[in-house]
Amino acid sequence: MTNSNAMRFNIAFILWCALFLLLGGAGLAGLSAVGRLPAPPVTATNCIDEKFKFMHDTEIRNPGLIAVGSSVTWRNLDFSVFAEHYGGDVEPLNAAPCFLYVNQTAFYTDFLLDNMPSVKSVMSVFSMRDFSACAASPTEFFRPEDAKGYVFDKDPAWHLYLKNFRPVSFARDVVDLPGMRSGKDASASMVMDPYGSGPFTLPKPEIREDFQLDATCLDHLSAMSEDLSRRGIDFIVVLLPQMPAWRDAYDPGGVRDAEFRREVSRRLDPTRTVLIDAQQGLHLSNDQFTDHAHLQWRSVPLLMRYLISQLDKSELSLSHAGADQAGGGPDHAL
């Protein structure tokens, strides 16, 4: 009798599990059909998962240059300007998601480079915000094994919805993501251009919060720079100009900002690094920013043209052929 009860329990358990999987799969398929299915939950943050989804879907499979970092990188690069200048010599991909600090950017970059042998150059756009909380932020913010098959092998990712299911955030994303993906929710837009960049425009600039420089982040930058040099990959570091209103509110005279820029320059391995401090060449007004970390999208081409002018002065070659022939990278910083 006991064995019979156990058998019935096991059969019922298997049937309920099968029913749960069947209903779950049908629910995910239904949400996908109406455009409300969130990206597979590789992380707990929708804008990071949306970038993994873009990487899964994009046809740019062998980039020569990848951009990595937080939304400071994601929203402040327009690679169509690169295409106008360099033509087909550069195949860039903006792989930057959002919210990352430098330690997390270094971890993410290692993951990408381990799976992208075509990459010759890495570009990051930084503001002080990227260097403000490394000690308090987990470096390994996702499991590489969860992302590898989905991003690089284009494997289906239905299992991730079950493995990493978070009901509250999932339900919220079902409601909110359509407006974010379409750009109707301008304050949290998830729109991405063909290169993976995230155009961002706000009607009125916002000063937002203050933050302090975390020396731990500088240590992670040093390690990242040294690792890229060991890999034979050029590192293009771009420092965003300071928003005047943020400076006036939190950093009168720009003392902390100047220290931040000095420390970044000091921590970079000079062997294969080009440092472009856009503060030196661009003098932007408050209305050209959305906030301290992002430019209005209409102002991004100004930054891009300045980057191109400085890259053209350097010894770095962004073309696939040029990078292969050059052997060594640039050994100076701008």
Average pLDDT over residues 60-87: 96
pLDDT tens-digit profile of 257-272?
999 999 999 999 998 9
Residue 325: per-residue pLDDT: 38
Amino acid at 157: A
| Whether 45 and 84 share a structural domain | yes
How far apart CA 141 and CA 316 sit, in angstroms, is 32
Assess if residue 244 is contained within a domain: yes
Assess if residue 334 is contained within a domain: no
Can you give the residue range of the structural domain that contains 129?
41-326
| Whether 207 and 300 share a structural domain | yes
| Whether 6 and 121 share a structural domain | no
**Long-range contact pairs involving 109-118 (C-beta distance under 8 Å, separation at least 24):** 109/68, 109/224, 109/228, 110/227, 111/144, 111/147, 111/148, 112/66, 112/68, 113/231, 113/233, 114/144, 115/148, 115/151, 115/152, 116/62, 116/63, 116/66, 116/152, 118/62, 118/63, 118/64, 118/320
Amino acid at 103: N
Q: Is the sign of the CA dihedral 176, 180, 182, 183 positive or negative?
A: positive
How many separate domains does the chain show?
A: 2
Give the residues across from 14 on adjacent strands.
none
Neighbouring CB atoms inside 10 A of 36's CB total 15
| Whether 90 and 25 share a structural domain | no
Residue 5: per-residue pLDDT: 56
Query: Band of the pLDDT at 213, cuts 50, 70, 90?
Result: very high
pTM of the model: 0.89
Assess if residue 331 is contained within a domain: no
Average pLDDT over residues 34-57: 93
- Token code pair at residue 29: 């398929």
| Whether 157 and 18 share a structural domain | no
CATH number at residue 130: 3.40.50.1110
| Whether 24 and 48 share a structural domain | no
| Whether 23 and 48 share a structural domain | no
| Whether 27 and 64 share a structural domain | no
pLDDT at 293 over 70: yes
